């Protein structure tokens, strides 16, 4: 008589059969794929690839961009053109109406001359104007030359300029360093400029400050990039002759009739400023071309470190293979400890096996004697002839 067991609902038939867990397998494959992806340096972004490309698109000049209808379809290019046009218009208006501006401010200048301690007023104004986006240092310099003459006026302008630039420097150094680092992470052009400033040091600071770029704008960049205070102060002091030329123009225009010599000096100052500005822009561009690959590679590695940190891995993939005991895994130790992304591995140190002249594994006992040799242990010292 045969008895069959009753079926059990909790078991499947056959008992050893199991449905494969495809979801778990796919998840494991995804993890392996992500791990492989995180060990590679991320590819450059489109903007980084454009900068690295040898056939990168050159930005058109102001006039060419103004005549190109496609420019007005791009909002960024349109904003750039508007800002450039406004700056050019302000510079032209200042040059053309500089004499009328001085005449309009002459009652205020006479009041400062009569007031005791009136020379502190332009210093205070220059300190306030040293913070961007304010501007107008040239007007105050011309006014000081008109009121106090070239040398006293230059001393007032120099004091106000240095004090204002130092105040601007420390404000941006103390309160805007974090924002500057964020700008370096988000804006590639600012990151390139910051690296050029760091590597250029004193020379790049002097060249840029002699250009037509407003000094307080460059001060904000220098402070945010971490330039040393003495380097910045030395560059600001050496660039003071640019202010001396402006004060001289104000002193020369204090008379009713402007001489031909004054007009010539004014023209020479403008030409020199334009030439230095063009040279500074070209120098910065050349230095940017030299360091762009290094900067972009660091940005890519920084993105990789963030991705690995988010995945709970080592920030640097090379750091995952750090040895616990020593750097060399082939030293004479029985076991080498290696840590691989949190997994502890015990790896035996490779050893040279003793060789007995065999092409296979050596025997456990002593090697057998060669044919025709003595075997004292077996035949008690008898020779082969005595054995029979």
What pLDDT is stored for residue 193 in this prediction?
A: 83
Check whether 10 has a pLDDT greater than 80. Answer: no
Check whether 282 has a pLDDT greater than 70. Answer: yes
Check whether 107 has a pLDDT greater than 80. Answer: yes
| Neighbour count for residue 70 (Cβ, 10 Å) | 9
**Mean pLDDT in the chain?**
71
User: Residue 342 is part of which domain span?
Assistant: 319-349
Check whether 336 has a pLDDT greater than 80. Answer: no
What pLDDT is stored for residue 143 in this prediction?
A: 85
Q: Is 305 inside any structural domain? A: yes
350 or 301: whose pLDDT is higher? 301
Q: Is 42 inside any structural domain? A: no
219 or 102: whose pLDDT is higher? 219
pLDDT in tens, 303-329: 878 777 777 766 655 544 444 444 444
Answer yes or no: are the C-beta atoms of 223 and 172 closer than 8 Å: yes
Q: Is 371 inside any structural domain? A: no
Percent pLDDT > 70 in the chain is 62
What pLDDT is stored for residue 163 in this prediction?
A: 92
- Cα–Cα distance measured from residue 374 to residue 380, given in angstroms and rounded to the nearest whole number: 10
Check whether 369 has a pLDDT greater than 50. Answer: yes
Check whether 379 has a pLDDT greater than 70. Answer: no
Is there a single domain that holds both residue 179 and residue 201? yes
Is there a single domain that holds both residue 274 and residue 178? yes
pLDDT in tens, 243-258: 888 888 777 766 655 5
Is there a single domain that holds both residue 268 and residue 331? no
Q: Is 81 inside any structural domain? A: no
Is there a single domain that holds both residue 164 and residue 133? yes
What pLDDT is stored for residue 332 in this prediction?
A: 45
Is there a single domain that holds both residue 342 and residue 300? no
Is there a single domain that holds both residue 187 and residue 332? no
- Cα–Cα distance measured from residue 66 to residue 84, given in angstroms and rounded to the nearest whole number: 11
Unique residue bearing structure tokens 């401010």? 105
Q: Is 23 inside any structural domain? A: no
The two tokens of residue 277 are 């500005």
Q: Is 164 inside any structural domain? A: yes
Is there a single domain that holds both residue 223 and residue 340? no
What pLDDT is stored for residue 329 in this prediction?
A: 42
Unique residue bearing structure tokens 């071309």? 289
Residue 354: exposure state from Cβ atoms within 10 A (0-12, 13-18, ≥19): exposed
Q: How far lies 6's CA from each of 13, 16, 18, 126, in Å?
A: 13, 18, 21, 100
- Cα–Cα distance measured from residue 177 to residue 73, given in angstroms and rounded to the nearest whole number: 35
Report the interhelical angle of 150-175 vs 177-186 (nearest 10°): 70
Is there a single domain that holds both residue 185 and residue 281? yes
Check whether 191 has a pLDDT greater than 70. Answer: yes
- pTM for this predicted structure: 0.59
User: If you ran DSSP here, which 8-state letter would residue 40 be given?
Assistant: S
Is there a single domain that holds both residue 164 and residue 267? yes
Q: Is 248 inside any structural domain? A: yes
pLDDT in tens, 44-58: 777 777 777 776 555
**Total domains present in the chain:** 2
* DSSP symbols for 280-343: HHHHHHHHHHHHHHHHHHHHHHHHHHHHHHHTTS-SSGGGGG-BSS-S-TTSS-SEEEEEETTE
Is there a single domain that holds both residue 264 and residue 229? yes
Is there a single domain that holds both residue 200 and residue 334? no
347 membership: H or E segment, kind and range: strand 343-348
- Cα–Cα distance measured from residue 51 to residue 230, given in angstroms and rounded to the nearest whole number: 33
- Cα–Cα distance measured from residue 375 to residue 388, given in angstroms and rounded to the nearest whole number: 15
Average pLDDT over residues 63-83: 69
pLDDT band at 6 (very low <50, low <70, confident <90, very high): low
Examine the fold and report which residue of 310, 328, 361 is the final residue of a domain before the chain moves on: 310
- Cα–Cα distance measured from residue 383 to residue 263, given in angstroms and rounded to the nearest whole number: 127
Q: Nearest Cα to 150, choosing from 22, 13, 246?
A: 246
First to last CA, the chain: 76
Is there a single domain that holds both residue 193 and residue 291? yes
257 or 140: whose pLDDT is higher? 140
Q: Is 13 inside any structural domain? A: no
Highest mean predicted confidence (pLDDT) among 187-196, 268-277, 312-321? 187-196
pLDDT band at 23 (very low <50, low <70, confident <90, very high): low
């Amino acid at each position: 008589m045969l008895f069959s067991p009753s079926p059990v609902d909790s078991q499947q038939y056959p008992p050893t059969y199991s449905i494969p867990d495809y979801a778990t397998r796919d998840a494991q494959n995804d993890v392996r794929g992500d791990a492989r992806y995180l060990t590679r340096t991320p590819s450059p972004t489109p903007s980084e690839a454009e900068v690295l490309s040898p056939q990168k698109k050159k930005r058109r000049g102001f006039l060419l961009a103004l005549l190109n209808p496609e420019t007005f379809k791009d909002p960024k290019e349109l904003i750039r053109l508007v800002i450039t046009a406004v700056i050019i218009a302000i510079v032209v208006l200042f040059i053309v109406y500089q004499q009328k501006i001085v005449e309009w401010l002459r009652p205020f200048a006479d009041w400062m001359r009569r007031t005791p301690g009136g020379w502190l007023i332009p210093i205070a104004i220059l300190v306030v104007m040293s913070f961007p986006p304010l501007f107008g240092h040239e007007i105050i310099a011309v006014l000081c030359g008109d009121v106090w003459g070239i040398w006293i006026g230059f001393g007032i302008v120099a004091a106000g300029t240095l004090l204002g630039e130092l105040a601007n420097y420390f404000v941006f150094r103390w309160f805007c360093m974090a924002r500057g680092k964020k700008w370096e992470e988000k804006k590639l052009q600012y990151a390139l400029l910051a690296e050029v400033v760091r590597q250029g040091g004193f020379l790049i600071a002097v060249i840029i400050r002699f250009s037509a770029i407003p000094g307080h704008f460059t001060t904000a960049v220098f402070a945010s990039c971490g330039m040393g205070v003495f380097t910045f102060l030395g560059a600001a002091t050496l660039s003071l002759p640019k202010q001396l030329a402006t004060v001289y123009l104000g002193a020369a225009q204090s008379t009713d009739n402007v001489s031909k010599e004054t007009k010539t000096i004014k023209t020479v100052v403008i030409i020199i400023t334009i030439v230095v500005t063009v040279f500074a822009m070209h120098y910065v561009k050349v230095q940017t071309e030299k360091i762009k690959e290094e900067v972009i590679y660091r940005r890519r590695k920084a993105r990789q470190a963030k991705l690995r940190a988010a995945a709970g891995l080592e920030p640097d993939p090379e750091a995952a293979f750090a040895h616990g005991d020593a750097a060399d895994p082939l030293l004479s130790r029985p076991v080498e400890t290696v840590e691989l992304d949190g997994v502890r591995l015990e790896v035996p140190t490779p050893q040279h096996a003793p060789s007995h002249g065999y092409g296979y594994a050596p025997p456990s006992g002593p090697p057998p004697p060669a044919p025709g040799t003595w075997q004292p242990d077996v035949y008690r010292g008898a020779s082969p002839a005595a054995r029979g």
